[in-house]
Amino acid sequence: MSISKILQEPTLGSIITVKGWIRSFRSNKFIAINDGSCLANLQCVVDFENEDENELKRITTGACVAVTGVLTESQGKGQSVEIIVQSFDILGDAPVEEYPLQPKKHSLEFLREIAHLRPRSKTFGAVFRIRHALSFAIHDYFNKEGFFNWHSPIITGSDAEGAGEMFRVTTLPHGTDQESSKDFFGKETHLTVSGQLEGELGAMGLGKIYTFGPTFRAENSNTTRHLAEFWMIEPEMAFYDLEMNIDLAEDFLKRTIKYVLDNCRADLEFLDKRFMDEQKTKPQNERSEQGLIEKLEFVVSNDFVRLSYNEAIEILRNCKPNKKKKFKYLINEWGADLQSEHERYLVEKHFKAPVVLFDYPANIKAFYMRLNEDEKTVRAMDILFPGIGEIVGGSQREERYDVLKQKVTDVGIPEEELWWYLETRKFGTCVHSGFGLGFERLVLFATGMGNIRDVIPFPRAPKSANF
């Protein structure tokens, strides 16, 4: 039986068997077992006087064990029930001198080096259970709202974002100059950077779809917010304009975060404490004023601030850090791309709330976004979160065939690469919109962790693809 189930519905007096990994062994008597089903350990009390000495020696941190005994009300503090052990069986030893995950505080950097064992730690157990809960809540949300889960391909022949940050997929021998016509697919192919373009094709038939898949970016960004392999959720909706798109994104974020608040209490409380301890180690001006749970509740119950790029530029141009030249990139004129320092200023200092920015200059955004009547800006939107920066990027799509075709030509994409995309504008086109949510950025926000490499089991980043 799982520990989570035992603690939820304890059947006192019954004989039960628990299997898990030993977290600690105290006074030759108390084994704390964790099986990953929940944050809590189950205390198992062994009658050491009547046990074989050699077997007792095998009860070490990290060993895998099966314990059978009577579930009893606990005499001690810190737990309500415990098992009075009748028999135990060491399923897998963990030699003390070698096992790296001892019951003491390890740094996250060290745990990253032992990513094969870190799912057994308290912090990563909590993080990965919340990651699961968010994934479940996302599928649940879209299913309830009438969306269909759509599987965009992972190997593609086009660059969806036009940013040229793609990993090649090839079976040609290493170091040859053979033409791509000789390659497996008879052309150049890559790992996808986004499932959006194929997602749009789905929406233009099924109405409302969403993808939830891995995406890959070969950008050389060694930051706490970027991965080379990350998971993205991309809904795409026929007949939605930009405003409906923003409404959906806001509701979606609130309800998935609410799900975690309602269903992951123990893990959140643990991570909240960890988050607050972490804040204390930071300089005063970088500390979060709110605790983790407080932060999540705030997002769930307050309207996101919505403002245009024009308005944002005005605020940034006149703000203190810009005037005192504290920004690395100073904001001088309209058209500047916003860096994360600017986004964070707006969210964390100016509004102290999630912010939705829309109507960006066309030339700093992707080719598929709907051109506004001013012919300078596009119907783009980014959602910025405290402590995270950009969490969602989306837009209303250019649905006019001629305008889109011209744009594709202008940015230099060969038409034969995207003929199928253009055809949806030729045949039965309609207003439509969508967005992309970076899943790990949402997990980062919901867990209060500081580095995106600590919210995915096996992170991929420049010069790092272990495990």
Which positions lie near ligand 4AD, rule CB under 6 A? 160-161, 194, 196, 217, 226-227, 230, 232, 234, 390-395, 434-436, 438, 440-441
Q: Is 449 helix (H, G, I), strand (E, B) or coil?
A: coil
Nearest CA to 342 out of 359, 363, 321, 311 is that of: 321
CB neighbours of residue 409 within 10 Å: 12
User: In the stretch 4-23, what mask flags binding to Mg ion with x, by CB under 5 A?
Assistant: --------------------
| CB closer to ligand 4AD out of 125 and 438 | 438
Q: Which does 194 bind (CB under 5 to 8 A by kind): ligand 4AD, Mg ion, none?
A: ligand 4AD
Residue carrying the six token digits 């157990």: 125
Q: Which does 264 bind (CB under 5 to 8 A by kind): Mg ion, ligand 4AD, none?
A: none
| CB closer to Mg ion out of 163 and 430 | 163
Distance in Å, CB of 269 to ligand 4AD, minimum: 26
Helix (H) or strand (E) holding 444: helix 439-447
Q: Is 201 helix (H, G, I), strand (E, B) or coil?
A: helix
User: In the stretch 338-377, what mask flags binding to Mg ion with x, by CB under 5 A?
Assistant: ----------------------------------------
Helices (H), 114-241: 122-144, 196-206
Distance in Å, CB of 235 to Mg ion, minimum: 15
What is the separation of C-alpha 167 from the centre of its chain, rounded to a whole number of angstroms?
Answer: 21
CB of 272 within 8 A of CB of 293? yes
Q: Which does 231 bind (CB under 5 to 8 A by kind): Mg ion, ligand 4AD, none?
A: none
The greatest distance separating any two alpha carbons of the chain, rounded to the nearest whole angstrom, comes to 85
| CB closer to Mg ion out of 210 and 270 | 210
- What is the chain's alpha carbon radius of gyration, rounded to the nearest angstrom? 26
Give CA–CA dist 340/337, Å, rounded: 10
| CB closer to ligand 4AD out of 60 and 395 | 395
| CB closer to Mg ion out of 23 and 342 | 342
Q: Which does 130 bind (CB under 5 to 8 A by kind): Mg ion, ligand 4AD, none?
A: none
Distance in Å, CB of 392 to Mg ion, minimum: 8
Could you give the C-alpha distances from 235 to 113, 267, 318, 434, in angstroms and in order? 35, 29, 36, 5
Give CA–CA dist 442/413, Å, rounded: 32
User: In the stretch 387-416, what mask flags binding to Mg ion with x, by CB under 5 A?
Assistant: ------x-----------------------
Distance in Å, CB of 365 to Mg ion, minimum: 8
Residue carrying the six token digits 């995270």: 388
Q: Residues interacting with Mg ion, by CB under 5 A?
A: 393
